[in-house]
A = this chain, B = another copy of it.
Amino acid sequence: MALSDRKKRILRAIVETYIATAEPVGSKAVAQLAGLDVSTATIRNEMADLTELGYLEQPHTSAGRIPSAAGYRLYVNELMDRQQLTIQETQRINDALNLKMEELDRCLDRASKVLSQISDYPVFTMAAAREKVTVKRFDLLMVEDNAFIAVVMTDTSVVKNKLIHIPGGLSDPQLQMLSAVLNSSFVGLSREEMGEALDKMETRTAPGAFDLIAMVVEFAMEVLADQGQQKFRTAGITHLLEHPEYRSLDKAKPLMAYLSEENDAPRLPATLDTSKNMNILIGPENVNDALKDTSVVMASYDIGDNMRGVIGVVGPTRMDYSKVTARLSYFADSLTRMFGKELPSPEESTEE
Query: A residues engaging B (CB < 8 A)?
Result: 113, 137, 139, 141, 143-144, 147, 149, 151, 153, 157, 159-165, 235-238, 241-242, 247, 249, 252-253, 256-257, 260, 262, 346, 348-352
Contact = CB atoms under 8 A, between A and B. Distances in A.
Nearest to A157: B163
Contacts of A256: 237-238, 241
Contact of A262 (B143, B161, B236, B262): B236
B161 A151 contact: yes
Contact of A241 (B161, B249, B352): B249
A331 B298 CA distance: 39
Contact of A161 (B113, B159, B235, B238): B159
17 contacts: A141-B141, A143-B153, A151-B161, A153-B163, A159-B162, A160-B161, A161-B161, A162-B350, A162-B351, A163-B348, A164-B348, A165-B348, A236-B260, A238-B256, A241-B253, A241-B256, A247-B249
A144 B346 CA distance: 11
A351 B247 contact: no
Contacts of A153: 143, 149, 163
Nearest to A144: B346
Nearest to A137: B143
Given A159-B163, A163-B348, A351-B160, A252 B260 contact: no
A114 to B, nearest CB: 12
Contacts of A260: 236-238
A154 B348 CA distance: 23
A259 to B, nearest CB: 9
Contacts of A113: 262
Contact of A159 (B149, B237, B252, B352): B149
Contacts of A162: 159, 350-351
Nearest to A116: B262
Given A149-B151, A151-B141, A163 B236 contact: no
A315 B154 CA distance: 44
Most buried by B among A153, A241, A349, A351: A351
Nearest to A113: B262
A202 to B, nearest CB: 19
Contacts of A257: 238
Nearest to A349: B163
A97 B308 CA distance: 33
B241 A351 contact: no
A303 B341 CA distance: 42
Nearest to A117: B262
Contacts of A137: 143
A134 to B, nearest CB: 16
A163 B238 contact: no
